[in-house]
Chains A and B, each alone.
Chain A
Amino acid sequence: MSALPAFLRRGFSHGVHPAGFKDRTADLPIQRMPFVGRYVMPLNQHLGAPAIPVVEVGDSVRRGQLIAEPGAFVSTSLHSPVTGRVAAIANRRFPGGVFARSIEIAADPYATQRLDPRPPADWRDLTSDDFVAQVQRAGIVGMGGAAFPSHVKYSIPEGQRIDHLLVNGAECEPFLTNDHRLMVERPDALLRGIEIILHNLGIQEATIGVELNKPDAISALQRQLTPSQPVSVVPLEVKYPQGAEKMLIKAIYNMEVPAGELPRDLGIAVNNVGTVVAIADWFETGAPLIERIVTVSGPGVENPSNLIVPLGTPVREVLNYCGGLKDGPIELIMGGPMMGMPIASLDVPVLKGTSGILAFTEGSDFRPREYPCIRCGRCLEACPYFLNPSRLARLAKARLYAEMKDYFVMDCVECGSCTYSCPSRIPIVQLIRSAKSQLRQQGADDP
């Protein structure tokens, strides 16, 4: 089934329309952030098993050199973001207020920091196993924020077939413009990445979904497309969470991914635009994933920007480069304002999944007073999964976690549309989040 024409296409139902705040960075070209003194590479910055270091303290490393290899199949490689010396392999600060085992690298101040990549074998001659191994070797993960190792998506079980590549350029989170700028500035690389993936997975057709608030990205891609390419660019309604994988599939193919199944069970592979460009970079130049584009924005930042930041750069350095923070208490979010993670220290490094660093000042509505739920039903109309967030929040407050399962709490993707829409300012998704982690813990305790 190909993408339906626009007038027949149905978007996903429900969802919310937060203000975009993207104009502050949407027109700013991507700049490269200069190198700093120290880099911290947490071994568990992707989903799955932590990577295992292959360097020791005191070793000299070159920029782009492998420093940790995958700890399991669902895991990936890490490469040094700079030329320097391994200063420590120890616990370092990680978003979420915890510590994680990390490789700390002191940059060599006299090195040129030139990347000397060796391109891997020609991507046209790879077997599918080789392709998967190459992607894992490059350390490529989903760049939208989840940081799920990409090669896992590309290893298709026996008997399954992928018919569609869906490239996610929705970027529905407010403030973020990193994918937007990437599509505007490197549409050629994106299309080459698509070609590589199509070839190696034997897919016939690719669709790039872009929200309508990025007309320049849509036209940049369309200008780059030749009629012979099996790629179409589909403009999407501006709506949150349009970029959630299953919502995007619903909007473009009008298919619901059944609960507990993956897009590939419907023959669809979904990749963020950043991931596709990372694939192109690896197969064309041999550059592994050692840097990424980060949108630095929010009312608390002096100079909002789109930056190419080497992985492992401390957030403190990134903010200093952007002119520092405004005075007063600041809330720092890694990722977008709807689903991002608050960070408790400026020493936290930029990770593979860091799409944005947002600083918020404490406004009058920052910690709003909570009113009782009046069952207005706005959360039901917001929830893209058609859950009953009002009921779930009530159950969570009563700690009736088991009963929440009957209301499919585990289907919640924590997009936050319910909390956004609640006029009583009840932290619905926060309650659901903690209930889910309780349930997961209980599940782990009594198998």
Chain B
Amino acid sequence: MSTKDPRLLLQAAPLLKQHLTTRGAMLDVLLALLPATLAGLWFFGLSGLLVLSASILGSIVTEWFFTPQDARRRHLLDGSGFLTGLLLGLTLPPSLPLWMAFLGGAVSIGLGKLIWGGLGQNLFNPALVGRAFLLATFPNAMTTWSPAGGPGDFFRLHASNLAMPFMHVEYDGVSAATPLGMMKFDQQDTSLSNLLIGNTAGCIGETSGLLLLLGGVYMVWRRVIDWRIPTSILASVAALATVFFLVDPETYPGPLFSIFAGSLLIGAFYMATDPVSSPITPRGAWLFGIGIGLLVILIRFFGGFPEGVMYAILLMNAATPLIDRYTQPRVFGRGRAPR
């Protein structure tokens, strides 16, 4: 007979849990972004690195500052603040003044996430909130692009990076247009191989189509993103672009250009799939993706901007609660689901 009863714990079942944690999912996304990030550093050198660091720093400092002391460690370690900063940085032009990148990171976390109640509560994608803020506040700096360089120019730093806050920004002589800009304003095509590799002007992390796709496939394989969202975005963009291209090949680019130019891939795989701000229901995910594809084509082909992925995602973010409400799954053994 046993001498003394053991201390009995009373944890309600189920006691078994699958392995993936929220923190692990964040790390998976970071890992998936690594190739495209490294490509960005290859093409945009030290300037790219500094802009990324500034936006990540802006995010983390803001998260740290506005989090109660006892929760700081946990909130910073969940990786979501770092990820937001990195995603924002990857969608910024490499010649952006660093203080703007820092401010963008701060706005992403402050207005994009914390003001809503923290992780899991925000309506909009935090990184895109920061980017929309920057584009509205500093339109000039946010649309001045520099050509992609190589490893030889790694230490070439843009003078504009070091501009003092709120002072006039001096740009280097060399500026360039993005593939989408060239297409929209000059009807000038960019070769597909350059779009795939990323050897074009653009935001730090958006240019290398192949590596973004690689990371996206990794995330789908690891099931950290919902495959329906990128699938429906890319399919609807490709379908609509094909229709326009067939009607008027002089004015409109083909489907491959539409998919690989600009920020569609980084948006479709890394921004739109943010689970917090996208629909949770499977049917909702399809609707959400199709809506984004539609808006992207509308803005790109008919709007004033060459690029529309950011606004397309933000607009569909706003529609997410409504979509969720109307696409509740049909309950087992019942006819229709509630609204």
Interface residues of A (CB under 8 A from B): 16, 18-19, 97, 174, 246, 250, 256-261, 316, 319-320, 324-325, 327-333, 335-346, 360, 362, 365-369, 371-377, 380-381, 384-388, 390-391, 406-408, 411, 416, 419-425, 427, 429-430, 433
Contacts and interface: CB of A to CB of B under 8 A. Distances in A.
Nearest to B224: A376
Given A246-B332, A372-B120, A377 B280 contact: yes
Contact of B8 (A331, A337, A366, A430): A331
Contacts of B281: 377, 380, 388
Contacts of B280: 375-377, 380, 388, 390-391
B338 interface: yes
Given A18-B16, A371-B22, A375-B275, A329 B7 contact: yes
B5 A423 contact: no
B333 interface: yes
B16 A421 contact: no
Nearest to A259: B333
A288 B285 CA distance: 55
23 contacts: A16-B18, A256-B333, A259-B333, A316-B2, A328-B7, A329-B6, A329-B8, A329-B9, A330-B7, A333-B13, A339-B13, A339-B14, A342-B11, A344-B8, A371-B23, A374-B276, A375-B120, A388-B281, A420-B16, A420-B17, A423-B22, A425-B21, A425-B22
A373 B78 CA distance: 13
Contacts of B315: none
Nearest to B12: A430
A427 B329 contact: no
A361 B329 CA distance: 38
B1 interface: yes
Interface string B50-90: 00000000000000000000000010001000000000000
Interface of B: 1-2, 5-18, 20-25, 74, 78, 118-121, 224, 226, 275-276, 278, 280-282, 328-334, 338
B8 A384 contact: no
Contacts of B5: 316, 346
Contacts of A425: 17, 21-22
B332 A259 contact: yes
B271 to A, nearest CB: 15
B238 to A, nearest CB: 25
A112 B80 CA distance: 68
Contacts of A360: 15
B334 A324 contact: no
Q: Nearest 10 A-B pairs (CB), nearest first?
A: A416-B14, A372-B120, A259-B333, A331-B9, A385-B332, A386-B329, A338-B14, A329-B7, A371-B22, A376-B275
Given A374-B275, A385-B331, A408-B334, A19 B16 contact: yes
Contacts of A327: 6
Is the contact region of chain B dominated by helix, strand, or loop, or is it mixed? Answer: loop
B16 A325 contact: no
Contact of A341 (B13, B275, B331): B13
Given A330-B6, A423-B21, A337 B332 contact: no
B109 to A, nearest CB: 15
B127 to A, nearest CB: 15
Contact of A331 (B2, B11, B282): B11
A374 B214 CA distance: 24
Given A387-B331, A420-B17, 12 more contacts: A330-B8, A338-B15, A339-B14, A342-B10, A345-B8, A366-B15, A371-B23, A375-B280, A377-B275, A377-B280, A388-B280, A408-B331
Contacts of A374: 22, 25, 119-120, 275-276
Contacts of A362: 9
Contacts of B15: 331, 333, 337-338, 360, 366
Contacts of B21: 368, 371, 423-425
Nearest to A367: B11
A388 B328 contact: yes
B17 A419 contact: yes
Nearest to B334: A259
Contacts of A174: 16
A385 B5 CA distance: 40
B332 A342 contact: no
Contacts of A406: 338
Contacts of A258: 333-334
Contacts of A337: 13-16
B323 to A, nearest CB: 12
A274 to B, nearest CB: 20
A331 B338 contact: no
Given A258-B333, A344-B10, A373 B25 contact: no
Contacts of A332: 8
A407 B333 contact: no
Given A371-B22, A407-B338, A97 B10 contact: yes
B1 A320 contact: yes
Given A329-B7, A331-B9, A411-B334, A369 B18 contact: no
Contacts of A387: 329, 331
A302 to B, nearest CB: 11
A433 B6 contact: no
Nearest to B7: A329
Nearest to B278: A375
A411 B333 contact: yes
B10 A384 contact: no
A275 to B, nearest CB: 22
A406 to B, nearest CB: 5
